[in-house]
Amino acid sequence: MGTQFWIVQAFNGVSYGALLFLVGSGLSLIFGVMRIVNLSHGSYFLLGGYVALSVINSTGSWALSLPVAALAIAAIGIAMERLFLRSEGFEILRNAVIALGLAVLVALALKSWKPNIVGTGLEFAVAVAIAAAILYFALSRISIVPIEMDVLRQVLLTVGFAFLFQQAALDIWGGNNMDINPPHGLTQSIVVGGLYLPLYRVFMIGMAVVIGIALWLAMEKTRMGAAVRATVDDAQMARGVGIDTNRISMFIFALGAFLAALGGVIGGAFLGIYPGLDFEMLPLAFAVVIIGGMGSLGGAAIGALAVGLADNFGKALFPEVSYFTLYAPMVLILAIKPTGLFGRE
Amino acid sequence: MNKQLIKIMIVAVALLALAVIVPRSGSFVVLLATRAMAFAILAMSLDILLGFTGLASLGQAAYFGVGAYLCAVLATKFHFGLGWDFWIVVVLGILIGMALASIFGLFAIRATGVYFLMITLALGQCVWGLAYRWNSLTGGDNGINMSGRPNFGLDLSNEVTFFYLVFAFFTVSLLLLYLLVRSPFGKSLSGIRERELRMQILGYNTWLHKYVAFIIAGGFGGLAGVLWAQTNGHVSPETVVLTTSVDALLMVVLGGAGTLIGGAIGAAIVFGLREYLSTLVPWWQYVLGGVYVLTILYLPTGLIGIPERIRQARGGTSKKTSGSGEAKKLASVPS
């Protein structure tokens, strides 16, 4: 194990950390602003990769797939946040969405039990419409129970969505392991001091640095950023001085989903895109958030670097306990300083 | 008091019915019920933490996992636990669960709310990481295949015999846990759940109470793991993965936290979905996700709480106020 080994492993670790920063920073901001533990964050990563695949397949443009996938998933994030993660407003739309979802399930069940009644597409649509109307009527008479203050129920709700997204991805894109192929220019290697470094990993680091700086500027130098920081520090007080925390949490949730999906597109080129990737990324993203401290951008950057390096060196040096060496520090940090290295209470 | 007696009678009758009906319902139902009951022990152990102490653990699969791996490793590497010594494995499984919980508890118990959730998640991931990567011991991603079940006069490879064994373990666990929560110790746990500060002021060592509850839950988790390994005949990192812990949480919340039997009902329903529905339709996971979402949105007190909710809705209070009242009540329960 010469210096070359250390340099290559460190480089790989840093570039993996760059990817983890994209996933973790959004999760960290969401937690900081809304105090929501979002377990569907891994799904945003996976869905981002899948949407990018579809864009690439239909247009052939990798560069186009980045913004399209990220914006599409940000829209899903907004819908989730508005309709389900807060109880006020949009009751009609929420009931309509739930009724429609349940109605489709009812119709699907009818289709597999009694194909002679519900067989054709038209019959299916009629069944959905009837069921949705009945269910909507029923749902509008029951009130939902607010979940804003209850961490456990937020966790289970977002897990439920993660399962729904998983099945939807399986139905739409199938169960095969797929790869996102970046443009030819990015697949080459550059030689630095006798070392071959894949250009794509350099690109990943560059992308994370650019996004990190942009986020930092937005948080530190703009009015919106100041409002976000105020909300992280003390949401009640921020509301008290007239900051619209409701709008901020929507914005941050969208941003978090956007960044995770971007990570999915970028990471899909070397991790691949496959069912189950969502729940593989999720604990890693949490490790980033916890080590850095929830709600802190700088913390997320440090946490991402630490997790990226620990993951790479762990796998190279002591493969049998590599994940243990990743999560054990997370436990220690939580036990000693629960707010993370850079988090504020 | 009388009401409590009626509830006990209902549970007893239901258990009796289970013991009579299931073995006559075909091998698939027997298998499903055996699995659900092994997992129900895990769910009930989690309910001690979640429902009675107010600690939402996201890593209960860790104890389940060490129990299962212990059983599998002993059976395949040392040929231990295939005869009467199965009972030793059961005891060891409980002990290893308790031992692990006594270590993990040192880290976790001080944390509260979301930090407790996160630290138990991290601890669970530590165990998962070892199971996934420590190839020489755990077989890595492939896991461990066990050959056959123990035979000590009773041949457990007979599905019905094994069902009765797991049924016995389940019933005894339910009874022990019920006695635990009715004991003065259990009452003080509920006190901690309602308001920890008040218990501290009253002179209770709340840390120690939570720590002991954590260890007891770990022991039952280990027991559930041993039974699960024998039920399944196969142990893999899937046993300790994050979704297993989350599933256990859902079972408790779905059935009704703080009721013990709720966890068992939840386990039956989730297993029914996972194992039975998945053989019927390819889109079963929509139903599972839907159950998660709907339970959280509409059933804060779980299935067991439905009669109470209906009574409240009919009790003249307007929908809005009863909703927020429920929320207030629940906000004090978990987290």
Residue of A nearest to B129 (CA): A323
Q: CB-based contact (8 Å) between A88 and chain B?
A: no
Between CA B264 and CA B269 the distance in angstroms is: 9
DSSP state of A145: P
Q: Which residues of A touch B289 (CB under 8 A)?
A: 160-164, 166-167
What is the pLDDT at residue A228? 87
Q: Say whether A335 and B107 touch across the interface (CB within 8 A).
A: yes
Q: Say whether B323 and A143 touch across the interface (CB within 8 A).
A: yes
User: CB-CB: which of B113, B129, B283 is closest to A327?
Assistant: B129
Buried b (16+ CB within 10 A) or exposed e, B284-316: bbbbbbbbbbbbbbebbbbbbbeeebeebbeee
Q: CB-based contact (8 Å) between A93 and chain B?
A: no
What is the pLDDT at residue B148? 80
Token pair of B306 as six digits: 């439905």
Long-range contact set of residues A169-173: C-beta below 8 Å, sequence gap at least 24 = A169/A43, A169/A46, A169/A47, A169/A50, A169/A275, A170/A275, A170/B285, A171/B283, A172/A50, A173/A50, A173/A53, A173/A54, A173/A273
User: CB-CB: which of A155, A160, A331 is closest to B289?
Assistant: A160
Q: How many CA atoms lie within 13 A of A28 on its CB side?
A: 34
User: CB-CB: which of B292, B294, B334 is closest to A152?
Assistant: B334
State the pairing for strand pair B144-145/A189-192: unpaired
Which tens digit of pLDDT belongs to each residue from A262-293?
999 998 888 889 988 988 899 999 889 888 87
Other C-beta atoms closer than 10 Å to the C-beta of B104 total 25
Q: Say whether A335 and B290 touch across the interface (CB within 8 A).
A: no
Q: How many CA atoms lie within 13 A of B327 on its CB side?
A: 20
Q: Say whether B108 and A112 touch across the interface (CB within 8 A).
A: no
Q: Say whether B250 and A159 touch across the interface (CB within 8 A).
A: yes
B53, B106, B118: best to mutate for the A interface, most A CBs within 10 A:
B118
Token pair of B9 as six digits: 């009678």
User: CB-CB: which of A109, A152, A321 is closest to B335?
Assistant: A152
Amino acid at residue number B71: C
Token pair of A9 as six digits: 């492993």
Nearest C-alpha neighbor of B38 from the set B78, B90, B86: B90
Which tens digit of pLDDT belongs to each residue from B227-273?
999 998 889 998 899 989 999 999 999 998 888 999 999 999 998 88
Q: Name residue B155's beta-bridge partners.
A: B151
Which residues numbered 230-259 in A keep a CB inside 8 Å of some CB on B? none
Q: CB-based contact (8 Å) between A33 and chain B?
A: no
Which tens digit of pLDDT belongs to each residue from B272-293?
888 888 888 888 889 989 988 8
Q: CB-based contact (8 Å) between A345 and chain B?
A: no
What is the pLDDT at residue B335? 37
Count, residues in chain A: 345
Q: CB-based contact (8 Å) between A110 and chain B?
A: no
B47, B296, B310, B328: best to mutate for the A interface, most A CBs within 10 A:
B296
Q: ipTM of the predicted structure?
A: 0.87
Q: Which residues of A touch B56 (CB under 8 A)?
A: 151-152, 155
Residue of B nearest to A340 (CA): B115
Q: CB-based contact (8 Å) between A283 and chain B?
A: yes
Residue of A nearest to B104 (CA): A331
Q: CB-based contact (8 Å) between A322 and chain B?
A: yes
Between CA A69 and CA B20 the distance in angstroms is: 55
Q: Is B32 within 8 Å of B94 (Cβ atoms)? A: no
User: CB-CB: which of B123, B293, B327 is closest to A145?
Assistant: B327
Token pair of B319 as six digits: 């929908």
Other C-beta atoms closer than 10 Å to the C-beta of B317 total 12
Other C-beta atoms closer than 10 Å to the C-beta of A219 total 18
Between CA A164 and CA A40 the distance in angstroms is: 10
Q: Concatenated DSSP letters for B12-66?
A: HHHHHHHHHHGGGS-HHHHHHHHHHHHHHHHHHHHHIIIIII----S-THHHHHH
Between CA A299 and CA A281 the distance in angstroms is: 18
Helices and strands, number each (H, E), in chain A: 13, 2
Q: Is A229 within 8 Å of A217 (Cβ atoms)? A: no
Between CA B262 and CA B267 the distance in angstroms is: 8
What is the pLDDT at residue B180? 94
φ and ψ of B154, to 5 deg = -80, 125
Q: Say whether A320 and B133 touch across the interface (CB within 8 A).
A: yes
Amino acid at residue number B94: I
The residues, any chain, with a CB within 8 Å of residue A337's CB and separated by 6 or more, are none
Nearest C-alpha neighbor of B209 from the set B221, B222, B196, B220: B196
DSSP state of A146: P
Between CA B27 and CA B20 the distance in angstroms is: 14
Chains A–B, number of C-beta pairs less than 8 Å apart? 181
The vertex-A304 CA angle with A298 and A307, nearest 5°, equals 140
Q: Is A63 within 8 Å of A88 (Cβ atoms)? A: no
Q: Say whether B334 and A167 touch across the interface (CB within 8 A).
A: no
Q: Which residues of B touch A324 (CB under 8 A)?
A: 126, 129-130, 133
Q: Which residues of A touch B326 (CB under 8 A)?
A: 145
Q: Which residues of A touch B55 (CB under 8 A)?
A: none
Q: Which residues of A touch B278 (CB under 8 A)?
A: none
B241, B284, B286: best to mutate for the A interface, most A CBs within 10 A:
B286
| Positions of chain A with pLDDT under 50 | none
Q: CB-based contact (8 Å) between A150 and chain B?
A: yes
What is the pLDDT at residue A344? 60
Nearest C-alpha neighbor of B99 from the set B244, B219, B277, B210: B219
The vertex-A46 CA angle with A52 and A300, nearest 5°, equals 110
* Residue where the block lists tokens 């949009």: A90
Amino acid at residue number A81: E
Other C-beta atoms closer than 10 Å to the C-beta of A343 total 22
Q: Say whether A283 and B121 touch across the interface (CB within 8 A).
A: yes
Q: Which residues of B touch A84 (CB under 8 A)?
A: 293, 297
Q: CB-based contact (8 Å) between A318 and chain B?
A: no
What is the pLDDT at residue A290? 85
What is the pLDDT at residue A343? 65
| Positions of chain B with pLDDT under 50 | 318-335
